[in-house]
Amino acid sequence: MRGGVSRTAMASVLLRMLLLSHLYLLSERQVEEYVNDSLAAKHFLSLGVHQKAPDHSSLNVFKDRLPAIARPWWFGAGATSTSPPDVQGG
């Protein structure tokens, strides 16, 4: 744990930040600023009023470490098409 936050909790915050960046068409830097300025965004991320959002570089590292199947087309996984990937049932 870093700073009293578990890895699972941090992953949840970062994933939600990625969702915000997609919904509002924000870059990693912009979503960091947005979260730091918006009480609604902090509430969505379960951050305290005085807590800072994770740094944009942490968000980039998290996004790069997502497995390919967990990186939907809207997170910019390098997909060439504009449709979501096919998922094979098994």
Question: pTM higher than 0.75, yes or no?
Answer: no
CA distances from 23 to 6, 48, 51, 83 (A): 26, 22, 22, 16
26: left (phi over 0), alpha (psi -120 to 50) or beta: beta
Mean pLDDT, rounded, for 17-37: 94
Per-residue pLDDT tens over the stretch 32-87: 999 999 999 999 999 999 999 999 999 999 888 877 666 665 555 444 444 444 54
Q: Which two tokens stand for residue 39?
A: 């009480």
